[in-house]
Amino acid sequence: MIRTVGLRKEFRTRRATTTAVAGLTLEIPRGRVTGLLGLNGAGKTTTIKILATLLRPTAGTVLVDDLDPLRDAGAVRRRINLIAGGERMVYARMTGRENLWYFGRLYDVPGAVLRPRVAELLELVGLSAAADTRVERYSRGMTQRLSIARGLINDPAYLLLDEPTLGLDAPIARDLRRVVARLAAEGTGVLLTSHYLAEVEELCQHVYVIAGGHHLTAGSPAELTARAGCHRSVRVTVTGAGPEVAAAVESLAADLGAAAVLDRAADGSLVASLSHPGEIAGPLAMAVVGAGGTLAGLEVAEPTLEDAILALNDRAGMVSA
Amino acid sequence: MSVLSFPVQVGWATFRRTWRVTRRAYPWSYFIGTLMLGVFTVGLAHLGLQAIGGGQVAAGFTAATGSADYLGYITVGAAAFMFTTHGVLWVGKALIEEQRAGTLGALLLAPARRLPYLLGFAGFAFTAIALEVAVLLGCALALGARPAAMGASQAALAVLTLGVAVFGMSVVLGGVMITAGEAHITQNTVFFAIALLSGFTFPRQDLPVVLQWLGELVPTTAAMDVIRGVFTTGAGVPPGRAAVAVLLGLAYTAAGLAYLPRAERHSMERNH
């Protein structure tokens, strides 16, 4: 397990000291995809770079399988790897195959293991046909795919993913999500940051939310949306609705303290929408039917993780302009 | 189980990588371009000797250098300077070039240590330089230079001594470059300083005493005495100076390797 306690990172210049991470305590176990979410400047990338041994924390402790990255950097580096969506991290004048071979040597992957692994990884990221083409001739997406393969070259016990699908075409991003899910199922510990919150919802069993380097909350995506008190939206379409139906909807909204929006569709049907954190689809349907209306449609939109993150950040007063 | 131990494997992989990349980046232009400096230096020395000295050197030069062969003296100095500057350029700039290419993070993530990685660059650099120096010596011999003829073991020992000195300086410079985030000013300052202090193209006895002592802090100064002893005067390897050059080179290497982790972290923080 990767464990941090009171992790803190300050960047000091002659003029100022900036605190990027302020006392984070995290646990990233094997066999689970853990999310690290927050708006820009929340401290996600700094945290990942500390865990990857690229930055040294100002205070706090990091342990990777009980190894201290400061004292046992070599052993820790054999266990981890990092894939960063915004960075190239591969050599432009070498081919995809040469890149993977070189990085395999830097990770002490034995030659007999490395040869098939390079071929497998090239296949995995869809670069088999371009394996012997120089990276400088790759598209941005192809380069990113090679970076992903590089991040898997040492078969890491822990994979740190910083916006890994940034700039990837949808099918490749989907394939990467499948790979990440499979790696976690096989026992790899994964830490994921992503601006694509649907990706986080799909992959992560546990999510830490941070803002301004501080820990805000943690839990499963479902727990976070519930905890954030985000509103469900319920929309009903009512045919043959007279003024009493509209009045019943408004009365229910007033009783619940919910916001109601009433509108007429092109065919004359009444469309009523209510937003509320609680379960209101049933009461709304009963109110409509009780007032003599006929339900032609009912849609419930559950709050998303994105709604929850925005709500939590709003609450923390950390939303950037 | 890998046949090669991990450090040897890293050094060899880095050597192959650098060879490939350089061949692709500079098919012939790099080789020719770097050779021109040495050829012009020897060519200008030849013209100067003929036009100003009438093909003769002053008795003072012979007394200071132990040789009356001015062209041979300049040729050895130019070849050694080429060896030094290109060694520094390849090894010292290795990490800052990684930084510029966006691959420094990927390199630092890996468990490979920096010494074998830099030795891989040094292996490539000294192989490439050997070719350039061979062509330079061919041109100089054609112009009439006559370096002292010593045995192969003496010559190899002298070149190895200079190699250790240059490598040590390069490791320190590599750290300075990634800390400063620039290479141009750093490398040119160093090239100017060693050209002045280490006796590549004129006898160090011509320098003020303070600068002569300052030169003793630079590993290439003692290494040049070894080179001169073998290739200019023909007296052979001076053991004391060889020991100084190697010890200083190793001390610079140790200091550079101790400093590099801090320089690398500084670089990562600056680019964060």
pLDDT at position B15 is 95
From CA B118, how far away is CA B92, in angstroms rounded? 8
Q: Domain residues for B197? A: 6-270
Give all strands of the β-sheet with A33-37 in edge-to-edge order: A80-84, A158-162, A189-193, A33-37, A206-211, A214-219
Could you tell me which residue, B4 or B188, shows the higher pLDDT? B188
Enclosing H/E stretch for A214: strand A214-219
Query: 């003072």: which residue's tokens?
Result: B60
Could you tell me which residue, A184 or A266, shows the higher pLDDT? A184
Query: 């001076």: which residue's tokens?
Result: B238
- Chain-centroid distance, C-alpha B228: 15
Q: Do B6 and A108 touch (CB under 8 A)?
A: yes
Residue B231 CB-half CA count within 13 A:
28
Chain A closest-CA separation from residue B179 CA (Å): 14
State pLDDT tens for residues B143-153. 777 777 677 88
Angle at A33 between CA B272 and CA A97, to 5 degrees: 65
User: Which 113-132 residues of chain B touch chain A by CB within 8 A?
Assistant: 113, 117
Q: What are phi and psi of A62, to 5 degrees?
A: -130, 135
State pLDDT tens for residues B110-124. 999 999 999 999 999
On whether residue B181 sits in a domain, the answer given is: yes
From CA B173, how far away is CA B214, in angstroms rounded? 18
Chain A closest-CA separation from residue B92 CA (Å): 19
Torsion B193-B196-B197-B201 (CA) sign = positive
Look up residue B224 and give its amino acid: M
Enclosing H/E stretch for A242: none
pLDDT at B223 over 60: yes
Q: In this structure, which topology does domain A2-11+19-227 adopt according to CATH?
A: Rossmann fold (3.40.50)
Enclosing H/E stretch for A263: strand A259-264
The length of chain B, given as a count of residues: 272
State pLDDT tens for residues A36-51. 988 777 888 899 999 9
pLDDT at position A320 is 40
Q: Which residues of B touch A108 (CB under 8 A)?
A: 2, 6, 9, 111-112
State pLDDT tens for residues B37-79. 667 777 787 787 777 767 777 777 777 777 777 777 888 888 8
Least confident of A83-87, A155-159, B164-168, B240-244: A83-87
A318 confidence band (pLDDT: 50, 70, 90): very low
From CA B186, how far away is CA A207, in angstroms rounded? 46
Least confident of A143-147, A151-155, A184-188, A223-227: A223-227
Look up residue B134 and give its amino acid: A
pLDDT at A319 over 50: no
Could you tell me which residue, A312 or B181, shows the higher pLDDT? B181
Q: Read off the pLDDT of each residue in B196-205 and give the average, rounded to a whole number.
A: 83
Cβ–Cβ under 8 Å, residues A127 and A142 = yes
Residue B127 CB-half CA count within 13 A:
11
Residue of chain B nearest A153, judged by CA positions:
B110
pLDDT at A111 over 60: yes
Q: Read off the pLDDT of each residue in A104-121 and give the average, rounded to a whole number.
A: 93
From CA A177, how far away is CA A171, in angstroms rounded? 10
For residue A171, with 0-12 CB atoms within 10 Å meaning exposed, 13-18 middle and 19 or more buried, which class applies? exposed
Residue B55 CB-half CA count within 13 A:
2
Q: Do A105 and B10 touch (CB under 8 A)?
A: yes
Q: Do A82 and B110 touch (CB under 8 A)?
A: no
Cβ–Cβ under 8 Å, residues B46 and B71 = yes
Could you tell me which residue, A39 or A68, shows the higher pLDDT? A68
Q: By three-state DSSP, how is residue A28 classified?
A: strand
- Chain-centroid distance, C-alpha A38: 9
Q: Do B109 and A102 touch (CB under 8 A)?
A: no
Q: By three-state DSSP, how is residue A292 classified?
A: coil
Q: What are phi and psi of B218, to 5 degrees?
A: -100, 125
pLDDT at position B13 is 94
For residue A185, with 0-12 CB atoms within 10 Å meaning exposed, 13-18 middle and 19 or more buried, which class applies? exposed
- Chain-centroid distance, C-alpha A296: 37
Q: Which residues of A touch B102 (CB under 8 A)?
A: 87-89
pLDDT at position B1 is 47
Query: 């050599």: which residue's tokens?
Result: A91
Q: By three-state DSSP, how is residue B104 classified?
A: helix
On whether residue B160 sits in a domain, the answer given is: yes
Instruction: Work out how many domains chain B is built from and give that number.
Output: 1
State pLDDT tens for residues B238-271. 899 999 999 999 999 999 999 999 999 888 887 6
State pLDDT tens for residues A8-42. 988 888 788 888 888 889 999 999 999 998 877 78
Task: Identify the CA nearest to A47 among candidates A30, A62, A32.
Answer: A62
Q: CATH: 3.30.70.260, 3.65.10.10, 2.130.10.10, 2.30.40.10. Which one for A231-302?
A: 3.30.70.260
Tokens coding A180: 């990440």
Q: What is the DSSP letter of A304?
A: P
On whether residue B1 sits in a domain, the answer given is: no
Look up residue B122 and give its amino acid: A
Most B CBs within 10 A among A47, A54, A80, A152, hence the mutation to make, goes to A54
Torsion B44-B129-B113-B249 (CA) sign = negative
Computed over every residue of chain B, the mean pLDDT equals: 85
Provide DSSP, B133-173: HHHHHHHHHHHT-------HHHHHHHHHHHHHHHHHHHHHH
Q: Do A54 and B111 touch (CB under 8 A)?
A: no
Question: Interface pTM (ipTM) of the complex?
Answer: 0.84
Cβ–Cβ under 8 Å, residues A217 and A224 = yes
Tokens coding B131: 């070719």
Q: By three-state DSSP, how is residue A63 classified?
A: strand
Return the domain boundaries, chain A.
2-11+19-227, 231-302
Chain B closest-CA separation from residue A93 CA (Å): 6
Give all strands of the β-sheet with A270-276 in edge-to-edge order: A259-264, A270-276, A232-239, A294-301
